Amino acid sequence: MVKLPFILCFMAIGCATPSPVLRLSPQSKDVVWVGGTEAITRTGKTVRAAVAFAREQGNQIAFRVELENLTDTNVLLEPARFYAMTCARKGTPPTRTCGATRLVSDPERMLLALDMKRSRDKAGNANAEAFWGTMVLLDATLGVASAVGGHGRGTTSALVAMDLSANAMDSVSTRDRLQATGYELERANWSAMALRKTTLFPGKRVAGLVLTERDESASEVWLHVRIGEDILVFPFNQTVHQVLFQQPQGAHQTPSRLAR
């Protein structure tokens, strides 16, 4: 028997399909393999940098970037100044077209946005919980008044309403816990995993993730690392792997047949 959620999805205009999986490989023969990952390096006047494709992360792709200060002075590292560009090859013969450059995600701005969103969520959940708590008190008062007046139906209705209010409060508490968990995980990504604004001392190194917008239509992704006098360019080829959607057994049947 086919489950109801799939029946509803099948009867609807469209259903969710798997997103393509993206993989990036350096446009360079001088690569170094580290744990199954291809990395490319560039050396400038200020820093030496190594970059590798790390993973997809939601609607973004993440690069692992490692930097070493080559100077005898402190260097201010600001990932918010890095930028990316995507290119696509279309037509016959293929013509290469590149889009405008765009700054990568700023970890400091993302952390502020996360904290502000969590603050709004907590306030909204607190208000919802207080509202449903008030409804419980009012419903209880209504039930007592109905019982005193000899109206049993009023008491029953009040008890049902109280039960609904209690369930709603439980839902609010569950939602708040889920939001808190998601917030902590997302904040950990940006605070611990992302490449942050840092003063890099002479001879010292730093590493972290740099994220930019995911573009399934691109065949190339270029990451530009801008530090001091240096603008180091890291070109990658992008391969888009389509994911086939396997329908459950019996999905080809008509909705009327499935519903029986």
Each domain of the chain, given as residue ranges in start order, spans 1-17+245-260, 24-105+197-241, 110-190
Run of H or E residues at 142: helix 107-148
Predicted TM-score (pTM) of the model is: 0.71
Q: State the CB neighbour count (10 A cutoff) for residue 104.
A: 25
Q: Which residue has the higher pLDDT, 229 or 237?
A: 237
Query: How far from the centroid of its chain's Cα atoms is residue 122's Cα?
Result: 20
DSSP symbols for 191-203: IIIBPPPEEEPTT
Distance CA 30, CA 44 (A): 16
Q: Which residue has the higher pLDDT, 133 or 259?
A: 133
Kindly tell me the burial class for residue 18, based on how many C-beta atoms sit within 10 Å of its own C-beta (0-12, 13-18, 19 or more).
exposed
Lookup: tokens for 195: 């490449």
Class of domain 24-105+197-241 as given by CATH: mainly beta
φ, ψ of residue 107 in degrees (nearest 5):
-60, -40
Task: Provide the 8-state DSSP code for 20.
Answer: P
Q: Which residue has the higher pLDDT, 124 or 42?
A: 42
Distance CA 137, CA 135 (A): 5
pLDDT digits (tens, 9 = 90+) for 72-94: 999 999 999 999 999 998 878 88
Distance CA 96, CA 82 (A): 23
Amino acid at 83: Y
Instruction: Say if residue 191's pLDDT is above 70.
Output: yes
Lookup: tokens for 114: 């996360």
Distances, alpha carbon 13 to alpha carbons 132, 153, 188, 251, in Å: 36, 44, 38, 15
Which residues fall within 8 angstroms of residue 243, CB to CB, at 6 or more apart?
18, 19, 20, 21
- Mean pLDDT, the chain, rounded, equals 80
Between CA 160 and CA 167, with CA 166 as vertex, the angle to 5 degrees is: 90
Contact 61, 22 (CB under 8 A): yes
The predicted structure's pLDDT at residue 255: 44
pLDDT digits (tens, 9 = 90+) for 133-176: 665 555 555 555 555 555 555 555 555 555 666 666 677 778 77
- 86 sits in the region (left: phi over 0; alpha: psi -120 to 50; else beta) called beta
Q: Where are the beta strands (DSSP E) in 91-229?
A: 95-98, 102-103, 198-200, 205-213, 220-227
Distance CA 63, CA 49 (A): 12
The predicted structure's pLDDT at residue 258: 40
Length of the chain: 260
Pairing of strands 32-34, 37-43: antiparallel
